[in-house]
Structure 1
Amino acid sequence: MSRRFGWPVWAWGLWDWGSAAFNAVITTFVFSVYITSDSFGPEADTSLGWALAGAGVLVAVLAPVSGQRADRSGRPGRWLGLNTLVVVVLSAALFLVEPREDLLWLGLLLLAAGNVFFELASVNYNALLHRVSTPATVGRVSGLGWGLGYLGGIVLLLVVYLGLISPEVGLFGVTDADGLDVRVTMLFCAGWTLVFSLPVLLTLRDAPQQAPGRAPRVGVVESYRRLFASVRELWREDPRLVRFLGASAVFRDGLAGVFTFGGVLAAGTFGFSDGDVIVFGIAANVVAGVSTIAAGWLDDRLGPKRVIVGSLVALVVSGTAVFVLHDGGRGVFWGFGLLLSAFVGPAQSASRTFLARIIPAGREGQVFGLYATTGRAVSFLAPAAFSLSILAGAALTGAARTDDAQYFGVLGVVAVLLLGLLLMLPVHAGPVAEERTSPAPG
């Protein structure tokens, strides 16, 4: 399948490979586990949920401005580069977060800010999908990108685990004293993101802009006026698109919650060590990468809705099993955790291709900005549901500390996934979009 893809497709997909540094290492399996350890106090896990919920609100405010500005300027590559550079700087700044309770909120604020700029970069990155695909290949190209992201996570987690986390004395003489192994990992992640972002920035260059054709820059208020006008126009043109944006906003937040809190649960509820979490992360990324690339083939043949619905059903069942069987120990988490991993990527990729197939030509940045906006408008759901479920569980069980009831957080994430599934079921899949007039390169 992928042998037919040319360099532009691979250059585009390598940004996903590079994004593994932030998604897999920082947000999921290393820094989030580190920042919720006992060194940062007993309320660190719930504080993580609130910090990420706040980041979601900021993205909801900023994404429509970012998407519309990229469309008007005709320079999505420029904005992708700028936002990615900020992610690199914030990733490196996490080196400053030593394992002290008074530094908890420094770490959480840097992590939240990184999430904001990462999501803004993703708006511009997704808007470039139409340049490297056609309606006949968009499922496979999107699946390749997501798959490369997971496979990149495998390579990076192996390097981090074998070179820095596992040895008593790692590369460059690094030890775990003062969290130095994790903090140096953050510097490595910054470099990884930078290096693998360069191919797409150098390959898919923005077209030169002619002065008479440039649209004037508008402010935030005008951007939102245009946003609401765009929603009304999209509703008149294709109500399915607007319904999908609403449904996907909910289930995508649940999908993000699976990986965001997976490592936290592995360490806090199932007793995984830092090294164990990374080993599980490697296995999870192998499963997710293979399943996502394979699901791209199903997407092109069966349609993205079937992939999304089937994946969400499997996620709800598997997540519920993790909660019900949590006393079963590590084997439960390994089995059902890997099953969860197998279905997150396919749902994420199929969601992107569902939208890419029906976006009106020339409005990719705007609609993907709206995609990010609707997703982040409710992105407080999974983090808040996670934190609230833990608080409710502590009250129900009489736990002295909230982290003793951490496993109740699984129910919060499952509830968000179930709601997204119910909203997605009535969304009409419709016919595949017609071929764009400009063929994709590669």
Structure 2
Amino acid sequence: MSSITQRKRIWGWFFFDWASQPYNTLILTFIFGPYFAQTASATLMAGGMPELAAKAQAQAYWGWGLATTGICIAILAPILGAVADSSGRKMPWIRLFSALYVIGSAGLWWTAPQDFSVLWSLFFFGIGLIGMEFATIFTNSYLPELHDDPAELGRISGSGFAFGYAGGVLSLAIMIAFFQAGDTGKTIVGLNPLFGLDIQTGADSRIVGPLTAIWFAVFMVPFFLYTRDTLKPDAPQYKLGAGFKDLAQTLRGLPRHPSMLAYLGSSMFYRDALNGMYTFGGIYAFGVLNWSIIDIGVFGILAAISGAVFCWVGGRVDRAIGPMPVIVSCCVILILTACMIISLTPTSAFWIPLAEGSNLPNILFYVAGALIGAAGGALQASSRNMLTRQANPKRMTEAFGLYALSGKATSFIAPALIALTSEITGSQRLGITPVVGLFIIGLILLAWVKPKGDFAR
């Protein structure tokens, strides 16, 4: 590692965010998610289901797919983190889950409307998401090793997220400029989809899977070139039994570290709420405001640019005053934004009827996208840095595994509550109201979190 400069290590670490972000931007939120909802609901309507019921059912399918994947991650994340911490070996796990990322995203090519299978679509989507999430856990755990001064970690975390968002912007711009067709059969810049992709088979949307896989494979090269494990002398290689034992010991010890426990609980709720906004944003725009996938893509670019700028800004604020004020401010902004979204329909804003043909709801939803990108990006970056302050520095990968567990243990709650509320109210719009309550719970639990944690150093 001595031959690799600190600057190269940091930039190599940044490139993971750049390489992996398209799974969130292109697949989870702005392209494949709406394509899945559109295709699944069309399939259901072809079978005789009414349009509103079909859209609600498609949303439910998406939610249950996310919940199932979340359960898998929740079970395995802290165990694998404990195993990696015992040996110091993280890179082999990152290579394994990087392969799953590529296989899962590339597999989304086989989701054509003509023989559409909800099960296979969610299977490939879940494989890729598991790969992305686990690779992120192990990569995040390198953060404390990137600088000797803990005060610099907030800046580094924020810059990494900003760089990742920039990658998301570029990949999304490429997708809608050269591949994704609109109602006219042309892309947003007036071109036919590249490679003669057949619009009738959804190839202009399905190409998002292979594009994301190729993007990841290419841009992970700097990470693998400049990142090295710090191995522990005479440590066992991979012993699941030892991993279970270390994890059990950590869980038993959590009550002795109330700040860490409260932070895991708080972040569990507010990150679940944020993920609910991310994962249902594109589907919401499709179902409530009747946006096209290209409209949603433009919305995604705005949100990602906002996220990139404010991750960078938030990182500097984090360095100056710490992550806690950033986290609290972002949660408040997201609560207000969610309330604004709930108030929007194609014919009203803030529950006030509008003149026929008013474009105000669309404009306000773009504003909401910018706010979600800004606050959501800064929230994630500062949350990652906050964990480095709360965790035992000797068990950092395990801590990030627990962080993933706390984020995924309740990952079914937001989708389930959104689905349940949608069914009860018969409204996709009102279906997202549970995210407001989850953000509020997260804010309340922050009252028990020490800004510098139980392991202050």
TM score, norm. by length of structure 2: 0.87
1:323 aligns with 2:342: yes
Corresponding letter in the other structure for 1:419: I
Corresponding letter in the other structure for 1:115: L
Over 6 Å off, 4+ runs: 431-435
Quote the residue 2:450 is aligned against: 428
Offset of residue 413 of structure 1: 2.2
Offset of residue 433 of structure 1: 6.9
What percent identity do the matched residue pairs reach?
32
Quote the residue 1:440 is aligned against: none
SS at match of 1:136: helix
Corresponding letter in the other structure for 1:153: G
Q: Assess if the C-alpha contact under 8 Å between 1:150 and 1:286 holds in 2.
A: yes
SS at match of 1:336: helix
SS at match of 1:272: coil
Quote the residue 1:399 is aligned against: none
Q: Assess if the C-alpha contact under 8 Å between 1:39 and 1:100 holds in 2.
A: no
Quote the residue 2:418 is aligned against: 386
- Name the CA shift for 1:431/1:239 in 2 (closer, same or farther; >3 Å): closer
Offset of residue 381 of structure 1: 1.6
- Name the CA shift for 1:144/1:40 in 2 (closer, same or farther; >3 Å): farther
Q: Distance in 2 between matches of 1:233 and 1:215?
A: 25
User: What does 1:187-226 correspond to in 2, within 5 Å?
Assistant: 187-207=210-230, 212-214=234-236, 217-219=239-241, 223-226=243-246
1:29 aligns with 2:30: yes
1:130 aligns with 2:144: yes
Offset of residue 136 of structure 1: 1.8
- Name the CA shift for 1:391/1:246 in 2 (closer, same or farther; >3 Å): same
1:262 aligns with 2:276: no
Q: Distance in 1 between matches of 2:128 and 2:436?
A: 25
Q: Assess if the C-alpha contact under 8 Å between 2:105 and 2:212 holds in 1.
A: yes
Structure 1 range deviating more: 152-161 or 251-260: 251-260
Corresponding letter in the other structure for 1:254: A
Q: Distance in 1 between matches of 2:414 and 2:228?
A: 36
SS at match of 2:136: helix
Q: Assess if the C-alpha contact under 8 Å between 2:86 and 2:243 holds in 1.
A: no
SS at match of 1:35: helix
Q: Distance in 1 between matches of 2:139 and 2:172?
A: 24
Could you give the per-residue CA deviations for residues 350-404 of structure 1, whole angstroms, max 9, x where no partner exists?
111011123222211111111111211111122112211211221xxxxxxxxxx
Quote the residue 1:48 is aligned against: 62
Quote the residue 1:243 is aligned against: 262
The correspondence for 2:251, drawn from 231, 237, 242, is 231
- Name the CA shift for 1:98/1:216 in 2 (closer, same or farther; >3 Å): closer
Structure 1: give runs of 5+ residues left out of the alignment. 395-404, 436-442
Q: Assess if the C-alpha contact under 8 Å between 1:64 and 1:227 holds in 2.
A: yes
Could you give the per-residue CA deviations for residues 33-64 of structure 1, whole angstroms, max 9, x where no partner exists?
00001334312111101110111111111111
SS at match of 1:362: helix
The correspondence for 1:376, drawn from 408, 415, 421, is 408
Quote the residue 1:16 is aligned against: 17
Could you give the per-residue CA deviations for residues 219-266 of structure 1, whole angstroms, max 9, x where no partner exists?
4xx644532321232432x32111111111111111112211111111
Offset of residue 293 of structure 1: 0.9
Q: Distance in 2 between matches of 1:310 and 1:101?
A: 46
Quote the residue 2:159 is aligned against: 144
Offset of residue 269 of structure 1: 0.9
Quote the residue 1:400 is aligned against: none
Quote the residue 2:7 is aligned against: 6
User: What does 1:86-101 correspond to in 2, within 5 Å?
Assistant: 86-100=100-114
User: What does 1:250-329 correspond to in 2, within 5 Å?
Assistant: 250-326=269-345, 327-328=348-349, 329=361
Corresponding letter in the other structure for 1:351: S
Q: Distance in 1 between matches of 2:31 and 2:237?
A: 43
User: What does 1:407-422 correspond to in 2, within 5 Å?
Assistant: 407-422=429-444
Q: Distance in 2 between matches of 1:418 and 1:71?
A: 34
The correspondence for 1:357, drawn from 389, 413, 434, is 389
SS at match of 1:165: coil
- Name the CA shift for 1:36/1:378 in 2 (closer, same or farther; >3 Å): same
SS at match of 2:394: coil
1:39 aligns with 2:42: yes
The correspondence for 1:177, drawn from 200, 208, 227, is 200
1:153 aligns with 2:168: yes
Q: Distance in 2 between matches of 1:323 and 1:274?
A: 21
- Name the CA shift for 1:68/1:157 in 2 (closer, same or farther; >3 Å): same
Offset of residue 144 of structure 1: 0.9
Q: Assess if the C-alpha contact under 8 Å between 2:288 and 2:429 holds in 1.
A: yes
Q: Assess if the C-alpha contact under 8 Å between 1:169 and 1:175 holds in 2.
A: no
Could you give the per-residue CA deviations for residues 297-324 of structure 1, whole angstroms, max 9, x where no partner exists?
1111111111111110110011011112
Q: Assess if the C-alpha contact under 8 Å between 2:258 and 2:448 holds in 1.
A: no
Structure 1 range deviating more: 358-367 or 121-130: 358-367
Q: Distance in 2 between matches of 1:382 and 1:116?
A: 18
- Name the CA shift for 1:318/1:213 in 2 (closer, same or farther; >3 Å): closer
SS at match of 2:113: coil
Corresponding letter in the other structure for 1:363: R
Offset of residue 118 of structure 1: 1.7
- Name the CA shift for 1:135/1:282 in 2 (closer, same or farther; >3 Å): same
SS at match of 1:36: helix
Offset of residue 85 of structure 1: 1.4
Quote the residue 2:356 is aligned against: none
Offset of residue 93 of structure 1: 0.5
Q: Assess if the C-alpha contact under 8 Å between 1:146 and 1:292 holds in 2.
A: yes
Could you give the per-residue CA deviations for residues 277-308 of structure 1, whole angstroms, max 9, x where no partner exists?
10110011001110111001111111111111
Quote the residue 2:126 is aligned against: 112
Structure 1 range deviating more: 62-71 or 156-165: 62-71
Q: Assess if the C-alpha contact under 8 Å between 2:21 and 2:164 holds in 1.
A: yes
Q: Distance in 1 between matches of 2:37 and 2:126?
A: 14
Structure 1 range deviating more: 426-435 or 64-73: 426-435
Q: Aligned Cα RMSD in Å?
A: 2.0
